[in-house]
Structure 1
């Protein structure tokens, strides 16, 4: 008898460009044969765009180093206005995609 795992929930594909393009042989992860095969089980795709390492990337690294949420980063006295604004824009880009999926 063969065991077969069944996914009982929908998943979200996060395409995080932090380490470069999210591709397999030039094909976006969300467009691969595996993603197409299981399309009915994919709730959506969230694209996390690459941040400039000198500005937004540094902001996000600092936020993570301080173990802050986006809300905590907005209240953090160690962050100036521009840093908070870049983080807010990054947060909106992700949360708007999640909202479009229905989350």
Structure 2
């Protein structure tokens, strides 16, 4: 689940939205500060995980749509993602959970 846009807080409660658009309120202390993303849930095709943040970089594996990954960093174009011992780069437009052009 991702946090909704700003001002979606009420005391200790935070409004959240999942990739399917369902929203609800969660008690803030139960949320993690760790950012995660979902690979292109709208896609029917697999998503390339690349060694470097470049379209010409080697594809190290193919990710299924709706896979959940930790966001390590994003530069507005590419995000470094990780799960267990696997890490690499995915085009930011192929992820849900990070806004277009957002950096972290």
Rg (Cα) greater in structure: 1
Write 1 or 2 for the structure with the bigger share of helix: 1
User: What TM-score, normalized to structure 1?
Assistant: 0.27
TM-score in terms of structure 2 length:
0.27
Looking at both structures, which has the greater relative contact order when contacts are Cα pairs under 8 Å and sequence separation is at least 6? 1
Which structure: greater strand fraction?
2
